[in-house]
Amino acid sequence: MARPAPFSRYEFLIAWRYLRAKRAEGGVSVMTWISLIGIMLAVAALIITLAVRSGFRDEFVSTILGANAHVTVYSAGFVDTNGNISNVIPDYAEWADALAGVPGVVRAAPLVKGQAMGVFKRENTGLEVFGIAKSDLEDIPRIADPETSQGSLDDFDTGIAIGREAARQLGVGVGDVLRLINPNGTVTPFGTSPRVNEYRVVYIFNSGRYDVDLTRAYLPFADAQVYFNREGVADELEVIVEDPEAIDDLTPDLTAAVGDRGLTWSWKQRAGGFLRALEVEDTVMFVLMSVLVLIASMNIISGLVMLVKNKGRDIGILRTIGLTEGAVMRVFFLTGALVGTIGTVLGVILGCLFAYYFDPILAFVNGASGGGVWEASVRGIYRLPAKLELNDVLAAVSLSLVLSWGITLFPARRAARMNPVEALRYE
């Protein structure tokens, strides 16, 4: 007579029967529920942590790429006609054309940059002023977003664009006149006198980054050249590429396009320290959450050890009617594996739902606590999103199943090796 195949239907039925057994029937239902809930919460916590980590990195990188150059090209120092060391770019138009011709480059725009003090009534704040052409400013996605901004870029050539936090700090709105004070202004026989110009605020943007919105302003390129004494030159060029993640492969071509005098500074170099810190944090958080899943899985051992002890007579009977050691081992393995599997499935559902509704949940917590749970001035970005990724969910599921299934092998093996004679001796 042929033996039943491993993991036959009767093995699943016995395992399911033991799993549902009440304590009065020799089961350990309380321990079963504790194990199941523990795994469910651990898996949910792991998925939520991975989703928030992915969302934070995505939002952080998005605000960098959406409001800044992917690569900044600037000039090495050279001796100008007056015998002074200079870093400006006189032939910026030629550089821009050469950079735009590199495969993978979307656009290259000349910039004038300088520091100035913004003054409105009795308020003042330091500003980093960018001189840029209107057409180039309209191509910066985080700046030229009509849904998050006030005013219109149609009037940019006759005014100034300013960040939301700077506008709030100064108390200015669209249509107000802002004074800019440049300490390195006009050179006179009596020395350098500050240059004070007035500009009408035509646009208030929200880049998604607190530090950018607090310190940045945009002037028309020609006006910025005059204001910062950069007539006929640019300070740098900002380059936008099709694939920012592959910027390291494109940098040599950009450097070659502008010659030996050109230097590059990519967004990965600018934010490299923070991105590396995020990678380390990701690894540490995954390890910590994995330990949490392991601890929750350990409860299965306690439940199965008690179950094996309570079901000694059943094991003896099953062995005497023909079940092999392997069949008994599979029965108790399935009992523990079912707990791990059901807990994992419930944890995935709970974790995915929490991540999906993370924004309203965080808003509720923030409101219930009186605000301040997520402070943009400290965190740098205005919101903490959660981004579910298939690889993260699969990693959580795989970890949970491997740990919970592996844990069950030890008590299941002990049950299989129980001597049926000893099990039935006192029955």
Confidence of residue 406 (pLDDT cuts 50, 70, 90): confident
Q: Name which of 259, 263, 235 is nearest 76 in CA terms.
A: 263
Rounded distance, CA 35 to CA 39, Å? 6
| In the predicted structure, residue 356 carries a pLDDT above the cut 60 | yes
Instruction: Work out the mean pLDDT of the chain and round it to a whole number.
Output: 81
Q: Say what the pTM is.
A: 0.74
Domain boundaries, given as residue ranges, for the chain: 9-62+274-424, 77-260
Contact 153, 134 (CB under 8 A): yes
Q: Name which of 129, 161, 136 is nearest 228 in CA terms.
A: 129
Confidence of residue 1 (pLDDT cuts 50, 70, 90): very low
Which amino acid type is present at position 28? Answer: V
Total residue length of the chain: 427
Mean pLDDT to the nearest integer, 348-370: 84
pLDDT at position 211: 84
More confident residue, 401 or 325: 401
Q: What share of the chain is helix, strand, coil (3-state, %, to 5)?
A: 55, 20, 25
Rounded distance, CA 224 to CA 111, Å? 9
Q: Which residue in the block uniquely carries the two structure tokens 């079901």?
A: 311
Listed in sequence order, the DSSP H helices in 266-324 are 267-270, 272-310, 312-320
| In the predicted structure, residue 26 carries a pLDDT above the cut 50 | no
Contact 193, 235 (CB under 8 A): no
Q: Which percentage of the chain shows pLDDT scores above 90?
A: 17
3-state secondary structure of 347: helix
Mean pLDDT to the nearest integer, 369-387: 68
**CA 76 from centroid of its chain's CA atoms:** 35
| In the predicted structure, residue 43 carries a pLDDT above the cut 70 | yes
Question: Other CB atoms closer than 10 Å to residue 107's CB: what's the count?
Answer: 16
The string of pLDDT tens digits covering residues 190-244 is 556 788 899 999 999 988 888 888 999 999 999 999 898 888 889 999 999 988 8
pLDDT at position 318: 66
pLDDT at position 372: 62
- Torsion of the alpha carbons at 241, 243, 248 and 253, rounded to the nearest 10: -50
The string of pLDDT tens digits covering residues 134-175 is 988 988 888 888 888 898 888 898 899 999 999 999 999 999
